[in-house]
Structure 1
Amino acid sequence: MGAPAPDAVELAIIPAARDIGGFGVRRALPSAKKRTVGPFVFLDQMGPADIAAGAGIDVRPHPHIGLATLTYLLDGALFHRDSLGSAQEIQPGAVNLMVAGRGIVHSERSPQGFRATGGRMDGLQFWLGLPKRFEETEPSFEHHAREALPTLDGEGWRLRLAIGTLHGLRAPVKTFATCFLADVVLDAGAVYELCGGHDERAVYIVSGEIEIEGVLFPAGQLVVIRPGARAALRATQPSRLAALGGDAMDGPRFVWWNFVSSDRERIYAARADWEAGRFATVEGDPEFMPAPELKAI
């Protein structure tokens, strides 16, 4: 038998690794054990992977409703285009936030410079479910450079806040509910204490290993913290974490393909709209990603 779970830990999720054209992806949310953490309904780690010169990532135009996507790169580069006319390259440490609301279409591809040389690719993508009153809001897009995001240094650790509020910091990125997402880098032996004050909290271990109350958690796990618990995270080696959480969602959400909604009928309608060509298109990127078969949600 393994060591008992720490009192501060509700559960640890070990996401299954999938291979997409030689590019590994780990999906920590949603999982059978935990569907959401605060407003976060989706968490993917993309990579790490070494992309050969001449190759790249090509995610064809696809639709979203009822959510906001947040892309945060650790290495490499991606180019975002959407049906609002946005065209933006994202670099490590910056934030792309796309609010889908009533509906948006976007593509994500390796930019030409990265594609020509190849290189290391690693990043995180999150979906935040929108509160019910904002599910049909107008779509929007915003980009914030690395230098625009607030930072905080502790004893042996450094933090960059990607969205929301934490440790008295406030990121400039638009929010619809109380939440936070922070990139935390720790030296070996450093201890970082995750703030309370939020309904739900978790840490995704991007690299390295952390110890909580004598129990070790290696890279690739999402560690969900019990509500109200003190969470002291000690790095046993140089480590990097994504700390996330916020207020609990205002009710359950249906998640299917690229759609999130409190109303399953809205998802059926969105799929029909996509297949019928009623979504706006992405200028300069005419490809089409067919929706998978939908039997029931």
Structure 2
Amino acid sequence: MIEMVIAQRRRSLGGGLDVGRVLPFAQRRMVGPFVFFDHMGPLDVAAGADRSLDVRPHPHIGLSTVTYLFSGEIVHRDSVGSHQPIRAREVNWMTAGSGITHSERFEKARAVGDHLHGIQAWVALPDGQEEVAPAFSHHAGDDLPQWHEGGVQGQLIAGSAYGLTAGVQTHSPLFYAHLDMEAGAVAEIPSGFSERAVYVATGAVEIDGARHEAGNMLVVTGAASQVRAVAPSTIMVLGGEPVGERHLYWNFVSSSKDRLRQAAEDWKAGRMKLPDADDAEFIPLPDDAPVPSPPAMS
């Protein structure tokens, strides 16, 4: 059955880049270890776009960012020295751990134009691993197993599901997959995990006889095991095991509010390295204000 339906809420990241924010949600902050889920685009960008579209350098702790594109190209740079374009059906997996900064730049879009569409998720690190050394990895090809059966074209992004395992290092049990479904096709929702969800990126699907349109995340429980496309659809299936209570403040995730405050103070004081020596601009804390206890989600 469906436990909850979470509709995306439109948010502006500046420069004309809007996203559909799904997680965190006031009544459901996480699904397994997934603590953040943004649907980017679809957005057509004309050649010569202003650099204000770029996501400027900003910090993270206590999580892994997972960037996955349906179309387009983004250039990732970070403070451990990574400089990596990501294209459709590839994965950029950045583990922030004790602290990392990164930027995301739309260099191809500025040069020749682009059609941008994808998902960025955050996966909270489990107890005992929140302060691991920061790291980055890029994955494509054989690292991300694919299959095609019964009108479903699937690709595993991370974790284990459908009898497959992706070549992405994770820190807790989880699954994350992209399914393109023909109208009428039926796909399994992986079982064996405490928490699971389906996000409808395009099209419309049916679970337990109820229809759900694009832009909705369906948190499933109990016997829910299949999803049927009632139109050509792209969905993301995800879930895993909970990692314990997590607090969020701005771009930081931690089991400790004190750690959040320390990270924010480090960023404001310039103690966190930027991705590039010439990065003169960075994203300030909201309103450049002193850091309070993490606010309630809204």
Q: Given the alignment, which residue of 70, 74, 90 partners 2:70? A: 74
The percent of aligned pairs where both chains have the same amino acid is 47
Q: Deviations over 1:92-125 (max 9, x none)?
A: 10000000000001000112x3311112111100
From 189, 192, 213, the equivalent of 2:187 is 192
Contact 1:61 1:285 in 2 (8 A): no
Say whether 1:128 aligns with 2:129: no
Contact 1:13 1:28 in 2 (8 A): yes
Query: Which of 15, 19, 32 lines up with 1:38 in the alignment?
Result: 32
Per-residue CA shift, 1:9-53, capped at 9, x if unaligned?
Answer: 001001211234332201100001211001100000011111111
Cα separation, 1, equivalents of 2:278 and 2:41:
24
Of residues 4, 12, 19 in structure 1, which corresponds to 2:5? 12
Equivalent in 271, 277, 283 of residue 270 of structure 2: 277
Cα separation, 1, equivalents of 2:118 and 2:277:
25
2:17 maps to a residue whose letter is F
Corresponding position: 1:247 with 2:244: no
Deviation of 1:280 after TM superposition, in Å, equals 1.6
Residue of 54, 61, 64 corresponding to 2:60: 64
Please state how far the C-alpha of 1:234 moved relative to its aligned partner.
0.8
Match of residue 196 from structure 2: 201
The match for 1:230 is 224
Deviation digits for residues 252-285 of structure 1 (CA, Å, limit 9, x no counterpart) = 1001111000000000000000011111221255
Query: Alignment partner of 1:134: what SS?
Result: coil
Query: Aligned partners of 2:16, 2:214: CA distance in 1, in Å?
Result: 20
Q: Following TM superposition, where does structure 1 have runs of at least 4 consecutive aligned residues deviating by more than 3 angstroms?
A: none
1:99 maps to amino acid: T
Cα pair 2:70 2:118 within 8 Å, conserved: yes
Single out whichever of 21-30 and 278-287 deviates more from structure 2: 278-287
Residue 268 in structure 1 maps to residue 264 in structure 2: no
Change (3 A) 1:285 1:151: farther
Q: Which residue of 2 aligns with 1:258?
A: 251
Shift of 1:140: 0.3
Secondary structure of 1:162's counterpart equals strand
TM-score in terms of structure 1 length: 0.94
Contact 2:74 2:105 in 1 (8 A): yes
Question: Residues 54, 147 of structure 1: CA spacing in aligned structure 2 closer, same or farther, 3 A cutoff?
Answer: farther
> SS state of the match for residue 46, structure 1?
strand
- Other-structure match for 2:109: 114
5+ residue gaps, structure 1: 1-7
Distance 2:162 2:232 in 1: 22
Residue of structure 1 aligned with 2:49, choices 52, 55, 59: 55
Partner Cα distance (1:215, 1:18) in 2: 27
Amino acid at match of 2:46: A
Question: Which is worse superposed, 15-24 or 160-169?
Answer: 15-24
Task: Classify 1:52/1:40 alpha carbon distance in 2 versus 1 (closer, same or farther; 3 Å).
Answer: same
Query: TM-score normalized by structure 2?
Result: 0.93
